[in-house]
Amino acid sequence: MTSIALKSFVGLRQASLEKPHLTSQAKPSSIINPRKLRVIASKSAPKLTNRNLRVAVIGGGPAGGAAADTLAKGGVETYLIERKMDNCKPCGGAIPLCMVGEFDLPLDIIDRRVTRMKMISPSNVAVDIGQTLKPHEYIGMVRREVLDAYLRDRAKASGAEVINGLFLKMDVPRDGVSPYVLHYTGYDGKAGGVGEKRTLEVDAVIGADGANSRVAKGIGAGDYDYAIAFQERIKIPDDKMVYYENLAEMYVGDDVSPDFYGWVFPKSDHVAVGTGTVTHKGDIKKFQLATRNRAKDKILGGKIIRVEAHPIPEHPRPRRLLGRVALVGDAAGYVTKCSGEGIYFAAKSGRMCAEAIIEGSENGKRMVDEGDLRKYLEKWDKTYWPTYKVLDVLQKVFYRSNPAREAFVEMCADEYVQKMTFDSYLYKTVAPGSPLQDLKLAVNTIGSLVRANALRREMDKLSV
Amino acid sequence: MAEQHLKSPLHIDKSKNAKDEVENGIELEHSAPRFTDERWKHGTWDLNMNSLSLAERTTIFSETFSIVPLILALKEARRRKFLELYPEASTNEEPVLFRTSIIPWWAWLSRSHIPEAELLNGFFMAYLVDALTGLDVVGQTGNFICKAGLLVTVIGVMLFRRTQDFENLKRLADEATFYDKQWQASWQDNKSAATGASKQTGKNS
């Protein structure tokens, strides 16, 4: 039976399954129940005299900006260290509707509102999704340099000190009260490049410095599998741009990516065409060419104005927290499978971590300890684990082969699927639908998969 | 079963863009052949049963209830195979509207062969014969638990027919829970966290 249902899945690792790497090995096979953790209540932690709690946020992206803003508002002495204030982070740039409300984003930082998506299968079966969206619902497309700057400026306005500097390393204290000493290169803006080495003493650190996080290295957080996302920004003629007015496309297929998807996302006045992969990073240029080829007619006459690439984490690092240092956003590895969404989760985790620090320190009046920060991990895992798991299952089932992708695109034509997908994406809740519809959906999914695999068996018999 | 694959030759359409064009950085790659078929119209397959072409009529099938849906299935397989080798641009002018659900399920019966289904059929036939002829071999057990045990054994034998199935299922279980383990990793090392302060830098990979 298993031979029909599932061939061996190479999946997201090149070799066979390995246990996640821990730099300092604990008991390898037992999973310790978090409820048995010895949590030192912060109420017994020393009260700070003559000063508030000092926290440094390393990295000024969505995670860092949200964390710094929340900390500053909560009465904590906050430092936000960002290496490049005008950084145009390579990114799809899509944010869900709920982020606008939850983070009070002004509508003018949203370049476009995507209200339709087109899913295109390996055999070019094209399905329009978005009919179930209500008039006020959309996916916001932003430029990262605009969003990041807005969040940083707001943190500054709330009282955080924003430092233009490159974090180098930190000295870890030996006890629970001594400060962390951060070493960074400070750029004064006018210095023009070299900068000067400075230090900063803080009581806690939030690592929001992205996929290549140095803070993560500093706490021995371990590595994660990551995808390479490659993207070309293409300026296409105005008449072609009309088609992408409020539409984004997703291409699936072995030609485009063996384990991810190719995309055409509309930006302010151009489109971003890209693809990604975990297992075949060496072939990324080939996949990009194939993506451009699939969208060829629609981007004809376009001019490439920028080429960019960036790693995307596939799962959380083995260690996200040590002492009074916590990781958030991409540094922690909070990118979903299947869709590769990261911005919202970065901002939300930054905020959640900051809230845990504020609560543990009673608005900056007391020292915090690891137990306080661990509350953020607990809350995070409890709130978003279902979302991450569902997307993982979807990726495993539907991205594994061309027949599966064909079935996936076919399923997307179903209105119930569209409604469930958009509801969970836009509002970040795994909403339970009606059981009858779910059953029908399950039956249809199996039907699609079976049909697609039957076609695959016929294809294998053919030689074209 | 005597079967022959569809013999109609693939039509390769080279009328468009036979030359390289370089346009401001977007190169039109040398145009790959496009998929064509007499029945592939407007992005889907033509179900019209009255006009089987000569090529289609020379194809021989057995055990089919109706030829055309199965022909369509095989043609769609061919189209997909073609596109795997020569991926085409997705255009708005000729969108692909085909859905596999228009091919009825019974069209696939002659083409598929599931060993487990054979076993199931065999088992139920034997059960039926046993009951009808009154031999009542099954009834010998005379006990509900034993009957249940018999069913469980049969199902178990079907699922775990080969040792390889054990491996497959084990791999499947590992696969399904791998992501969970990655998420729980942060909770596993809390014991070493207390001593972790002295093991900070230089321990990364």
10 Å CB burial of residue B24 (0-12, 13-18, 19+) is exposed
Q: Which two tokens stand for residue B86?
A: 């020569």
Chain B touched by A19 (CB under 8 Å): yes
Report whether A349 contacts A380 (CB < 8 A): yes
Residue B180 in domain? yes
pTM: 0.79
Q: With b meaning 16 or more CB within 10 Å and e meaning fewer, what string describes A144-155?
A: bebbbbbbbebb
Residue A287 has pLDDT above 60, yes or no: yes
> A276 pairs with which residues across the strands?
A229
Which pLDDT belongs to residue A341? 94
| Angle (deg, nearest 10), helices A62-73 and A343-360 | 30
- Confirm or reject contact between A60 and chain B (CB < 8 A): no
Instruction: Spell out which residues of chain A touch residue B72, defining contact as CB-CB under 8 Å.
Output: none
Instruction: Write the pLDDT tens digit of every residue in A311-335.
Output: 999 999 999 999 999 999 999 999 9
Q: Check CB contact under 8 Å for A220 and B196.
A: yes
Determine which of A7, A25, A125 to mutate to test the interface with B (most B C-beta atoms within 10 Å). A125
- Chain B hits for A23, CB-CB cut-off 8 Å, are 199, 203-205
Find the closest chain B residue to A26 by CA distance. B189
**pLDDT band for position B51 (cuts 50, 70, 90):** low
Q: How confident is the model at residue B157 (pLDDT cuts 50, 70, 90)?
A: confident
Nearest CA in chain B to A374: B187
**Inter-chain Cβ pairs, chain A and chain B, closer than 8 A:** 240
Q: Is A179 on the interface with B (CB under 8 A)?
A: no
* A16 pLDDT more than 50: no
pLDDT bucket at A164, cuts 50 / 70 / 90: very high
Mutate to test the interface with A, among B6, B27, B80 (most CBs of A within 10 A): B80
B177 or A201: which leads in pLDDT: A201
Residue B100 has pLDDT above 90, yes or no: no
Position B26, amino acid: I
Domain A48-93+143-222+317-397 CATH (choose: 3.40.50.2300, 1.10.40.30, 3.30.565.10, 3.50.50.60): 3.50.50.60
* Inside any domain, residue B2: no
* pLDDT computed for residue A108 by the predictor: 94
- Asked if the model's pLDDT at residue B166 lies above 70, the reply is yes
The 8 Å CB, 24+ separation contacts for B28-32 are B28/A296, B28/A300, B29/A289, B29/A293, B32/B86, B32/B87, B32/B88
**If pLDDT is split at 50, 70 and 90, which confidence band does B57 have?**
low
State the Cα–Cα distance between residues A197 and A166, nearest whole angstrom.
9
Q: Are A245 and A266 in contact (CB under 8 A)?
A: yes
CA distance A231 to A236: 15
The average pLDDT across B34-40 equals 81
Tell me which residue in B98, B100, B178 faces A452 most closely, judged by beta carbons: B100
Give the other-Cβ count within 10 Å of A66's Cβ. Answer: 30
**Structural domain includes residue B5:** no
B26 occurs within a structural domain: no
- The residues that bridge with A78 in the sheet, in sequence order, are A55
B117: chain A residues, CB-CB within 8 Å: none
- Spacing of C-alpha A104 from chain mean position: 20
Residue in chain B closest to A251 (alpha carbons) equals: B90
**A218 interaction partners in chain B (CB closer than 8 Å):** 200-201
Q: Per-residue pLDDT for B169 more than 80?
A: yes
Confidence of residue B67 (pLDDT cuts 50, 70, 90): low
Neighbours of A12 (CB within 10 A): 22
CB within 8 Å of chain B, chain A residues 405-444: 406, 410, 413
Q: What is the pLDDT of residues A88-111, one digit of tens each?
A: 999 999 999 999 999 999 999 999
Domain holding B162, by residue range, is 137-192
Alpha helices by DSSP H, B5-141: 54-57, 67-85, 115-133
Judged by a CB distance cut-off of 8 A, whether residue A392 touches chain B is yes
Chain A CB contacts of B176 under 8 Å are 396
Whether A41 and chain B come into contact, CB under 8 Å, resolves to no
Residue of B88, B92, B183 lying closest to A316 (CB–CB): B183
A168 Cβ under 8 Å from any chain B Cβ: no
Cross-strand partners of A227 = A312
Q: CA B26 to CA A302: how far, in whole Å?
A: 6
Predicted confidence (pLDDT) per residue in A56-70, tens digit: 999 999 999 999 999
Could you count the other beta carbons within 10 Å of the beta carbon of residue A335? 27
Give the total number of structural domains in chain B: 1
For chain A, where do the domains classified as CATH 3.50.50.60 start and end? 48-93+143-222+317-397
Report whether pLDDT(A8) > 70.
Answer: no
- In angstroms, rounded to a whole number, what is the distance separating the alpha carbons of residues A273 and A295? 9
